A and B are shown apart, each in its own frame.
Chain A
Amino acid sequence: MIINHPLLGPRDAAEFVHLGDAAMIDRPDWQAKDAAEAFHDYLYLRDNPAGTYRELWYHEQGDRSWLVVIRDTITHDIKNVELARDHARRRGRSR
């Protein structure tokens, strides 16, 4: 596979490490009332879609960017790649 890195252009997937669901970005609030349940769901429950999947890739043999890649799990067609940092900020993560 080839991942079109937003900073570095097209790079071979062999340079990357794959983590999985981009929902790993949405780490729950530790002080919330239901924190234990929320962390359980966060850590253990994953979608496994046949189709569009938003997932995390890490450019370990490169610039060490974490990326959010939207990939079709059936065709491996990659529809979008962005820096995970940008995605995380849009999801409300900051400090």
Chain B
Amino acid sequence: MTGRFRIPGGLVDRTQPIGFSFNGRELSGLQGDTLASALLANGQRLVGRSFKYHRPRGILSAGPEEPNALVQLHRGARLEPNTKATVTELFAGLAATSQNHLGSLDFDLLAVNDLLSPFLTAGFYYKTFMWPKSFWEKVYEPLIRSSAGLGRLSGEADPDHYDKGFLHCDLLVIGAGPAGLSAALAAGESGARVILADEDFVMGGRLNSETHAVNGQPGHEWAARTVAELAEMETVRLMPRTTVFGAFDHGIYGVLERRRDHLPPLADGSSDSRQPRQILWHIYTKRAILASGSIERPIAFTNNDRPGIMLAGAVRAYANRFGVACGQRVAVFTNNDDGWRTAADLQDKDIDIAAVVDTRSLPDGPPIHLNARVPIHAGEEVVDTRGRRGITKLVLASGKRVRADCLAVSGGWNPSIHLSSHHGGRPVWNDNIAGFVPGERHPPNLSVAGAAGGSLTLGSAFREGTAQAAAVLDSLGYPPSRRPVPEASDEPAAISAFWHVRESRGRAWIDFQNDVTDKDVRLSHREGYRSVEHLKRYTTLGMSTDQGKTANVNGLAAMAKLSGRTIPETGTTVFRPPWTPVAIAAFAGRSRGRDFRPVRLTPSHRWAEEQGAVFVETGSWLRAQWFPRPGEHGWRQSVDREVRTTRNTAGFCDVTTLGKIDIKGTDAGTFLDRVYTGTFSTLPIGRVRYGLMLREDGIAYDDGTTARLGESHYLMTTTTANAVLVFRQLEFARQCLWPDLDVHLVSVTDGWAQFSVAGPHSRDLLRTIIDPQHDISNAAFPFMACSELTVCGGCAARLFRISFSGELAYELAVPARFGDSMIRRIAQSGLAFDAVPYGTEALGVMRIEKGHASGNELDGQTTALNLGLSAMVSTKKDFIGMTLAKRPELNRKDAVRLMGFIPVDRAAPLAAGAHFLARDADPTTENDQGWMSSAAHSPILGHDIGIGFIERGHERVGEIVRAWDAVRGRDTDVEIVSPHFLDPKGDRLRG
């Protein structure tokens, strides 16, 4: 036997017992159970403690609306809090624990909060933790943090895998209940590409939980047969265990498929351990039908939150689908005909019905006839209940007490309209069902069928599902379906709105998950928080994991009553995605850890790895930072050696990461004149020029060199960081600003491997690589020359005589596929010239020694004037940024200038970020004169150097100022010098 509350019937497999545990207790359920049905079958009614008052709570529902039965699943890194027991498919070895209690579930020490409830009403935090101010950080916040929240995280990385996918269809049917199944059937039969998604693991919706007949057979059998038929259709894709959580723009739906949540967790490293646990699908649809059904709502009365008090439809579902009796003596409290079905179905299963209490006077007698022995209380209300850890008695308004261990409550059904308002549409009130139905502004091409649209009977679900499918087929040009509408009766579904038992004297719960009672709504009203948005935020009504699926309408009704308005006058909040919570891991998919984004490797990467290089991330690139040699301790030793060797003999470095843009066309020169501050149309063929780009607001944007390779052919380089952005900007200029210029752009960053070869021996080194017919002597190939030539016996290459280091230097480019060969060739040839590879650190040191601006200087706040590049800015032509660069504020006399800085005490360290102050000035914003943007240790000069911006710096050479660095706690006297620390006349690079 799998539990003393198991009764015959249901869609569970009695031959397949499944062992699982709850709070360490070993229990047994059946194949086809949810965790909730298995717990109920075992008589486990108490499953958790409430959020605020730590009240004992049991299972309320049988679906995704569950506010109470939130449990933690699994152990270790897979620990998963806030899982709804009502939608957790049971599997062998499932380990669940209850949450939100201090001590055991049965004796929760924080249950004292329930006694303090008069103080813990809405707005409690706002009013209580106000004073004294000093208490906030030390006392209140830790206190609140330790008692707030539901469940715990493991604190470890999620060991599972998640994936993303894209699907396309003619019709997405959301929900596989009677409306959804009949829609999918009609559309699929006509050949439309249909996706039918349902969050349950068995399709059929309420048909599996009811005893209705369809086409003369039991409803669940019809559903199973229909699902089997759909599975045979080639154009239909069935997606059980799949939640459509959001309706996005242009017919795109966000969908979560749970692939492995119903299976025991995989052992790490097992062959399947990379199988995705969940898949986040983007489904592109032409049409969609929302057939999401409806959710029953409770009625508010005193102590309506005890374990054993459940929704009537859920009690019926547990009996009919899962073969579980929720009690041995069940009472029903309803305001509508549907509640009576619970009494009728349970009675058919020989479960004792303690009473049916209907708020209506029922002048025409009961809507469904029950056994004459069942006591019927028409026009009566439940005003209170008894029972500490589960209901034992209910108290009626007349004072009569009824003994029962389960109370099935039905306050009517709310259509599940959430997806229909994801584009901002406001639901509208429907008096016939006393609930909200979808209003205007649906997502386009989404139609609604069945209970989701307020048609609560089975017959109408079939009619609407079939009709909506027919409309879809017609609009997409498919032949109409010949399938008749499945036959089912329209069962009685009358309702009289009834929300709240006014005779209740104690607290009546409206939102179970957030512990919001009728008293909180009254307080909110009294304190002026009367709009629905204020009500929600003041009381927390409708927040948290269930988003008020069972609470919102009751909360609105209570506020409407207090303010003397109707419910539609009171309003409703609209719904946003997601319909149910989606794990962040599913949104991340495979983009996590080292796969967070693609990593770009330079052509010399493998070789650099072989050399033992240390790598650094620069944007999405991995670049060699330095190349340690045996015996070197710490990065400084390696970097100093790389700099010294490069300056004394030769060094080489992979500079492929710089952006390279190939520019062709008869107007290429004109185009460059308009995007650079300088003039490029006059650049001779075979020459390179340094270029500065501004933003349209006049601030410096990017810099680099551009080479003219032919009459109408240029090659631009950009900084590594801005390669993508500059290309985008150039395309904008080309297509949007000057659409008739004859100019074409191609990004060739990845097409060419490029290596800097620098140092006094660099020319001799290159002579061993470049084919001998090419003359690269200083006379034939001077500073700023460029040429297309061949290397290694005929391999196409490009050579540029440009220098970032300040040495005699070249950049040699070969097609990227030869990059690995070329670095090896340079390294090998370099042995004879004492050449060393250098990384980004040495590159940085040498450019600071030379006073070259880089990302730290082109920081989005500096102008050409600040950078000392005014001479490069033409005043005779239009270019981007030209007009606004002339603004007076950008050209103040006291503007900061890029200067060099050396410590007066040569042993003192310098660091970027320090601010400059006059020697005797206080460190205040008013006294701030500028900042150090880059600093390094110069192995050539033997002390630290820095470059940075300081007011009127060019007039202050030789002055001593303070470099005040509060972050590092330093205050250093520095001397203002030229930013060109080394070879200011440029003899080396021209040599």
- Please give the residue numbers on chain A whose beta carbons come within 8 Å of chain B beta carbons, in ascending order: 1-2, 13, 17, 19, 24-25, 27-28, 30-31, 35-36, 39-40, 42-43, 56, 58, 60, 64-66, 74-78, 83-85, 88-89, 93-95
Asked whether A40 and B740 contact (CB < 8 A) given A2-B252, A66-B735, the answer is no
Given A58-B728, A60-B728, A89-B740, check contact A36 B887 (CB 8 Å). yes
Known: A39-B883, A64-B731, A66-B732. A95 touches B423 (CB 8 A): no
Asked if B834 CB lies within 8 Å of chain A CBs, one says no
Quick check: A58 and B423 within 8 Å, CB to CB?
no
Q: Which of B252, B444, B738, B883 contacts A30 (CB 8 A)?
A: B883
Q: What distance in Å separates the Cβ of A19 from its nearest Cβ neighbour in chain B?
A: 7
Interface residue B928 (Cβ < 8 Å from any Cβ of A): no
Judging by beta carbons under 8 Å apart, are B739 and A88 in contact? yes
State A42–B887 Cα separation when bound (angstroms). Answer: 15
Contact with A1, one of B249, B424, B728, B736 (Cβ below 8 angstroms): B249
Return chain B residues, CB-CB under 8 Å to A60: 724, 728
Contact between chains at A66 and B884 (CB < 8 Å): no
**A95 to B728, Cβ gap below 8 A?**
no
How many residues belonging to B are interface residues under a CB distance threshold of 8 Å? Answer: 31
- A75 near B423 with CB under 8 A, answer yes
For A25, give its contact among B250, B736, B878 (CB under 8 Å). B736
Q: Are A36 and B884 in contact (CB under 8 A)?
A: yes
Task: Identify the closest chain A residue to B727 (Cβ).
Answer: A64
Known: A35-B883, A58-B731, A84-B739. 11 other contacts (CB 8 A): A1-B248, A1-B249, A1-B252, A27-B737, A30-B878, A42-B696, A43-B696, A58-B728, A66-B731, A76-B249, A89-B739
Report the Cα distance A83→B724, complex, angstroms: 21
Query: Which single residue of chain B is at the shortest CB-CB distance from A32?
Result: B883
Residues on the B chain within 8 Å of A40, using CB: 884
Q: Is B941 an interface residue (CB 8 A)?
A: no
Within 8 A of A (CB), among B725-765: 728, 731-732, 735-741
Q: Which residues of A contact B882 (CB under 8 A)?
A: 30
Can you list 18 pairs linking A and B with CB atoms under 8 Å apart?
A1-B248, A2-B249, A13-B249, A24-B732, A30-B882, A36-B886, A43-B697, A43-B884, A56-B736, A58-B728, A58-B731, A64-B731, A66-B732, A75-B423, A84-B735, A84-B736, A93-B736, A93-B737
Given known contacts A1-B249, A58-B728, A76-B249, A95 and B740 CB-to-CB distance under 8 angstroms: yes
| In the assembled complex, B108 has its CB within 8 A of some CB on chain A | no
B667 at the interface (CB under 8 A from A): yes
Which residues of chain A come closer than 8 Å to B732, judged between CB atoms? 19, 24, 56, 58, 66
- Distance (whole angstroms) from the CB of A70 to the closest CB of chain B: 14
Q: Chain A residues near B886 (CB, 8 Å)?
A: 36
The 0/1 profile, CB within 8 Å of A marked 1, for residues 864-890 of chain B is 000000000000001000111011000
Q: Is the Cβ of B736 less than 8 Å from the Cβ of A88?
A: yes
Q: In the complex, A25 Cα to B738 Cα: how many Å?
A: 9
**How far, in whole Å, are A34 and B981 apart by their CA atoms in the complex?**
44
A35 to chain B, nearest CB (A): 5
Complex partner residue of B736 from A2, A64, A78, A85, CB under 8 angstroms: A85
- For B887, list chain A residues within 8 Å (CB): 36
Least distance between A6 CB and chain B CB atoms (Å): 13
What are the nearest 4 A-B pairs in CB distance? Answer: A30-B878, A2-B250, A85-B739, A94-B740
Find B250's partner among A1, A58, A84, A93 (CB 8 Å cutoff).
Answer: A1
Partner of A36, one of B248, B284, B670, B883: B883
Out of B444, B697, B738, B884, name the residue touching A94 (CB < 8 Å). Answer: B738
Tell me if B250 and A66 are in contact (CB < 8 A): no
* A64, closest chain B residue (CB): B731
Least CB separation from B251: chain A residue: A2
Are A24 and B697 in touch, CB under 8 angstroms? no
Contact A66 B736 (CB under 8 A): yes
**B-chain residues with CB within 8 Å of residue A13 when the two chains form the complex:** 249
* In contact, A85 and B728 (Cβ under 8 angstroms): no
A93 to B735, CA, bound (A): 10
Which A residues lie within 8 Å of B248 (CB)?
Answer: 1
Mark each residue of chain B from 272 to 284: 1 if its CB lies under 8 Å from any CB of chain A, else 0.
0000000000001
